[in-house]
Structure 1
Amino acid sequence: MLKIAYVFAALIAVLLIGAAATFLWLRVPDVPREPILAKYSGADDHFLDLPGEIRLHYRDQGKPDAPALILLHGYGDSYATWEGWAERLAGRYRVLSLDLPGHGLSDAPADFTLDAARCAELVAAFADALHLERFAVAGNSMGGGVAWRVALARQQRVSALILAAAAGWPPQGERAKPSLAFRILQHPFGREVLMRIDNRPLIAQGLRSQVHDASLITDAVIDRWAEYQLLPGHRRILMSAVLPSLQQASAERLAAIRVPTLILHGADDPLIPASDSQRFHAAIAASELIIYPDVGHLPQREIPERSAGDVADFLARHAI
């Protein structure tokens, strides 16, 4: 028995040493903003200062006097996820691809708490600051959870709502096993680790597991995600995410949404099941639902031409 105990203790020691070595190998500090801004920003990129030392980055494409469409990305993502949509919709709409705090090129204090309700307030403040009397709002995943909150709060000004694999519903029944990053995120110690390391390996595993065709997630896509997360304060904000705030939808609450609503979802989404979008469709009276076969969690990236075409058709039919 004593020999077994020694062997067991030795194995634990080896595992701990290995874990510590891996942590030290992956640990990296925040990086300066200027090189990342120079690498990724251009003439269409702008910044808006809001109270609380928040500086939101957004990409403004299309005609300034065209109907406005605000696009909101998912957790860990950025405005870049919408590049395929912007390319196809900017001819008719003013496309505003926004970075939420802790994401992309936006800047916020490291103690900012990533909460869906707070993010919805910021989007409303963004629309106010740009003097948008009417605007459509679209969101993917976490961004969808923010978008429907904006539609509820600003019904007189929101012309249309578009939900792409949107977050909102409490888990119902058995769900697919989440990516390793999301499993680590559920534990306080895991968050402490993630806010100190280069998360590139987890980003690669997570993104490629979320799409039907993993080849779409190129090294350039992963590098961009990883570089944005290394900006000052970003990882700390990402680790502050209040996950329950993304699970507060109810049929009673969503029934108050009266604006035209388009709901998109990939049939192969392993993160948020397509049945959640069916629940949105049932709860929102003025809604349409499209389920895409052979598509995962990111229809705007996986099938940009088809999904943007469906959005353009939907907005045109509703004279937006």
Structure 2
Amino acid sequence: MLRAPDLSYSELESHYADKRSHFVALSGGVRLHYKDEGRGPVIVLVHGFGDNWGSWDGWVAALKDRYRVIRIDLPGHGLTRAPATTRIDPEAFADLVDAFANKIGLPKFAVAGNSLGGAVAWELTVRHPERLNALILVDAAGFPSTTLAKNPPLAFRILQYQWGRAILKTIDNKPLIRDALKSEVGNPVVITDALIDRWAEVQRAPGHRDILLSGPLAGKGAASEAVLGKIALPTLVLWGEKDPLISLDVGQKFAAAIPGAQLKVYPGVGHLPQIEVPAVSAHDVAAFLATIAP
């Protein structure tokens, strides 16, 4: 009764792909899905672990009149196809974003990332700074965080064990996804049924669960003052004050380590400011980008 088989890409694409959707073939058997809309200076948005393009809907609505907004799905996420042997790796994903930008001929762009996507964004900045004109971190992974260990959602507790990961590869994870997402935000009302359905359904794409269950939990990473101190781009750090996965002190570490970085903290907000306070956080992004030369 609990088993949930894979959903075909054709089925998922018929439901979720639209005229804004595009696909590009990259090396290693990756067929990357992205949504591209608006005109102006480019900003590329990178979602977090288990998430997808839809995380940024609020930002797109607020920014697309002034910016070309591109949302990508990482391997193992959304509508991107990748071999099931792919592993969650921010450095490899940063190189993938670089290859994507080269493939579609992007000019210099700003990159924004949430959680795992934040780790990808700062790794991209370190590894390929010539691509970028600005960095935006939203509750980004990289430094270890102590908050996850205090009261993790049930899904994260199950992920600690190999038998748990084996079970999660075969069952309907929608109840666990609902529990996890609602525990990650300050106001659970923002986690709608439609959002939960999308998360659960695209995670059942062929190979996605193998990839997702290969990776580290949110909040782990290899950031350091020495590495981040090399970043010479304008940087904005956005953080939810009540983030239960990656605590505010991590955001403060990012802001302190990256020269000239600005930090904005959202009171009462958790791990997903782009979903919890989309208008306010997008306004802060627009104000920041207005000071950046394209």
Instruction: Report the TM-score, using the length of structure 2 for normalisation.
Output: 0.96
Let me know the Cα RMSD of the aligned residues: 1.5
Partner SS state of residue 186, structure 1: coil
Match of 1:13 in 2: none
- 1:156 deviates by 2.0
- Alignment counterpart, residue 56 of structure 1, candidates 24, 32, 48: 32
> 1:148-227 counterparts in 2 under 5 A?
148-171=122-145, 176-227=150-201
The aligned residue for residue 228 of structure 1 is: 202
Matched, 1:83 2:57: yes
Q: Distance in 2 between matches of 1:82 and 1:310?
A: 15
**What's 2:14 paired with?**
38
* Equivalence for 2:67: 93
Contact 1:264 1:291 in 2 (8 A): yes
Structure 1 residues 305, 228: CA separation in 2 closer, same or farther (over 3 Å shift)?
A: same
Q: What per-residue deviation string (whole Å, max 9, x for no partner) do you get for residues 67-92 of structure 1?
A: 11110000000010001101111111
Partner deviation per Cα, 1:32-85 (whole Å, 9 max, x = no partner): 22221111111110001111110010000112xx21111000000001000110
The structure whose Rg is larger is: 1
Are positions 1:111 and 2:92 aligned together? no
Q: Distance in 1 between matches of 2:149 and 2:4?
A: 33
Asked if the contact 1:116/1:246 (under 8 Å) is kept, the reply is no
Name the aligned partner's letter for residue 142 of structure 1. L
Partner SS, residue 167 of structure 2? helix
Q: Deviations over 1:162-210 (max 9, x none)?
A: 0000000023588532211112112211111111111101000000000
Question: Which is bigger in relative contact order (C-alpha 8 A, separation at least 6)?
Answer: 2
Q: Could you list the per-position Cα deviations for residues 140-169 of structure 1 after superposition, in whole angstroms to 9, with x for gaps in the alignment?
A: 000001100001111122100000000000
Distance in 2, Cα, partners of 1:175 & 1:162: 26
Kept in 2, the 8 Å contact 1:267–1:293? The answer is yes
- Structure 1, unmatched stretches of 5+, are 1-24
Where does residue 9 of structure 1 map in the other structure? none
Using the TM superposition, give the Cα deviation of residue 28 of structure 1 relative to its aligned residue in structure 2, in angstroms: 1.6
CA distance, structure 2, for counterparts of residue 267 and residue 51 of structure 1:
39
Structure 2 residue ranges without an equivalent (≥5): none
TM-score by length of 1: 0.89
CA distance in 2, matches of 1:210, 1:184: 17
Higher deviation after alignment, 241-250 or 210-219: 241-250
**Contact preservation (8 Å) 1:175, 1:273:** no
Give the whole-Å Cα distance in 2 for the aligned partners of 1:172 and 1:30.
Answer: 34
CA contact (8 A) 1:135 1:158 kept: yes
Aligned residues: 294
**Aligned 8 A contact 2:98 2:131 in 1:** no
Q: Which residue of 1 aligns with 2:289?
A: 315
Matched residues in 1 for 2:165 and 2:42: separation?
A: 37
User: Which of these residues, 102, 109, 121, is aligned with residue 147 of structure 1?
Assistant: 121
Contact 1:115–1:245, Cα closer than 8 Å, also in 2: no
